[in-house]
Chains A and B, each alone.
Chain A
């Protein structure tokens, strides 16, 4: 059965705390922390972008898979912050990991679920036998407009997965997609920051699709929340995934392992995929994992994985996600953060 044969994540070292952002805008930090369930977020350095993050994560995935990158037949990058409007992110990534030239590539975009779109297509390519290995990445260096609620959460990070049919560490038991046209969050061409419809992003958008996809896939395979060891939801803030889990009937300890957002922020296309890497880091053979992404616009992809006996062989072959989240952090002040994120520019 096809599935994940290698995985990896990357989190930039820089962080900024909610208090630091709130201080600048005269906002009430405790209420933002409570309201969003967030403490800090990861910030890319001035020389980092979605592609460099993808390269870091992909290298870890290759190390865990233990394969020759030349055998990767497809490199798909899902992001809403591709550095180029026209020019694929995947060409640079494929070149950097040594997968060129016999390789397909495409950039995926579906707000925060572009990463799981890439995973789905990669899986299908492998299952069809068209390619031996496929690399799917969800990565973002997203930005919220200065002072907007999104500025407290929009973070940077990447997760990469290699799919194959042999030496699988997590078999894909089932997939499911749930999508409608629901405009809750968007960014038009030439706009620097996204716009969102405030509270409309909650119930009719995130919850409708996340709950719809989670229930849909469980119904499809006749499973219930108690059949899963872990569940990973898209995590735009600390509260939404807990709320979604509670409403579906999951216990908090099933959710917490993959809920990175309080210290990471929302890594958009990387969000639920990075949560999955944190779960794989500590999972045991036989564990069942449900992952549900969410992308504004809007839709959710759901995957059910069964962890295999090979998981223990690969967990220590690269840095674990929580190690990157909890260690070697550098805290930025708002001025440095503003410079790193291109919000202020040095005179020519």
Chain B
């Protein structure tokens, strides 16, 4: 297996409500940004992470569409779907293709265009990441499912309402330094605690938004990349994915993200690193409770102690291990299919030392964790500056 490097990264200029851009426009803008950053004029293969172009904009066959509009025909182009972890899963497919020796230059993009539908339709589309027959059709939505997880965590471990809010406060503080972010502003603890109730105990400022956005990376064998890279390279030390039950009610323990724990264990072994070696991480904070539970499953904090991490400052910039320096899904936005790729863009930017005001000084090793549904699937990558 060959070592794989990230040669270039790209995002579309601004995430948010992109009324004047279509799904293809957003993807192509991010992909061109990544190609420019990598300094390459061709690719051998491409992947498109997207959760549900079909339900959001009535468009499937996204590999073909994006290759067509990016102008890369006839290279193979494949859409990868794993709900909200579509981007992470696409990155893993690209990694495998380069590591295996099948292709040298692979473009991995993620995209979602979510604002062409009403709020109700978006809620329905996102519900497709849960068990439709046993969860969504019975009336529960994603905020409802994560609210159940939050309640269970609060009940078992004494996690407090304020601790949930601290996750949003921290991520918005980070996101305020990210010009691409959909909501680049700080929020106060009081604002989170007094925001509109969505699904008790989760309030609107506990929830990631509906976002249009795209992200892309160019992968290349590390040895080849060393010869022509114009910017610092980032090596992918590990790529791991694991699955768990799709329905929350089928879990032995609703307070534990087994797929994330499994994927992390594989990734740490593959990288020869542990949670103590990480200097920065981007994790799937689709709701504030998710970041708390993910930190536990990644072994960054002890089981049951995730609530303390944001409140204590441990996961803030300047803390022991800054988490979601990009603003996370909460502040940067959550175009579901793009999120996993955008996490890799942020970590690569940090490891290159190019993160500007939100730079983690001297960051050498970073991790991304991208999750589908309530944790039915998780993808973990570990990166190292080279």
Kindly name the residue among B19, B115, B118 whose own CB sees the greatest number of chain A CB atoms within 10 A: B19
Q: Are B20 and A28 in contact (CB under 8 A)?
A: no
State in angstroms the CA–CA spacing of A198 and B210 once bound together.
Answer: 13
Query: Which residue on B lies nearest to A204, using beta carbons?
Result: B19
Query: Which residue on A lies nearest to B117, using beta carbons?
Result: A198
Q: Which residues of B contact A204 (CB under 8 A)?
A: 19-20
State in angstroms the CA–CA spacing of A28 and B119 once bound together.
Answer: 17
Query: Which residue on A lies nearest to B120, using beta carbons?
Result: A198
Which parts of B1-33 form the interface with A (CB within 8 Å)? 17, 19-20
Q: Which residues of A contact B115 (CB under 8 A)?
A: 199-200
Shortest distance in angstroms between B197's beta carbon and chain A's nearest beta carbon? 7
Shortest distance in angstroms between A171's beta carbon and chain B's nearest beta carbon? 39
Secondary structure at the A interface, as helix, strand, loop or mixed, is: helix
A163-201: CB near B (< 8 Å → 1, else 0) gives 000000000000000000000000000000000011110
With A198-B118, A198-B119, A199-B115 as contacts: A28 and B196 at CB distance below 8 Å: yes
Interface band, chain B: under 10
A194-217: CB near B (< 8 Å → 1, else 0) gives 000111100110000000000000
- The number of A-B residue pairs with CB atoms under 8 Å apart is 15
Q: Are A203 and B19 in contact (CB under 8 A)?
A: yes
State in angstroms the CA–CA spacing of A203 and B196 once bound together.
Answer: 22
Instruction: Judge if A31 is at the interface, Cβ distance under 8 Å.
Output: yes
State in angstroms the CA–CA spacing of A199 and B117 once bound together.
Answer: 10
State in angstroms the CA–CA spacing of A31 and B191 once bound together.
Answer: 12
Query: Which residue on A lies nearest to B122, using beta carbons?
Result: A198
Q: Are B17 and A28 in contact (CB under 8 A)?
A: no
State in angstroms the CA–CA spacing of A306 and B144 once bound together.
Answer: 57
Q: Which residues of A contact B20 (CB under 8 A)?
A: 204
Shortest distance in angstroms between B25's beta carbon and chain A's nearest beta carbon? 15
With A198-B118, A198-B119, A199-B115 as contacts: A28 and B19 at CB distance below 8 Å: no
Shortest distance in angstroms between A28's beta carbon and chain B's nearest beta carbon? 6
Known: A198-B119, A199-B17, A203-B17. 12 other contacts (CB 8 A): A28-B196, A28-B197, A31-B196, A197-B118, A198-B118, A199-B115, A200-B17, A200-B19, A200-B115, A203-B19, A204-B19, A204-B20
A-B contact list, 15 entries, CB within 8 Å: A28-B196, A28-B197, A31-B196, A197-B118, A198-B118, A198-B119, A199-B17, A199-B115, A200-B17, A200-B19, A200-B115, A203-B17, A203-B19, A204-B19, A204-B20
Q: Which 3 A-B pairs have the closest CB atoms?
A: A31-B196, A204-B19, A28-B196
Residues of A within 8 A of B (CB): 28, 31, 197-200, 203-204
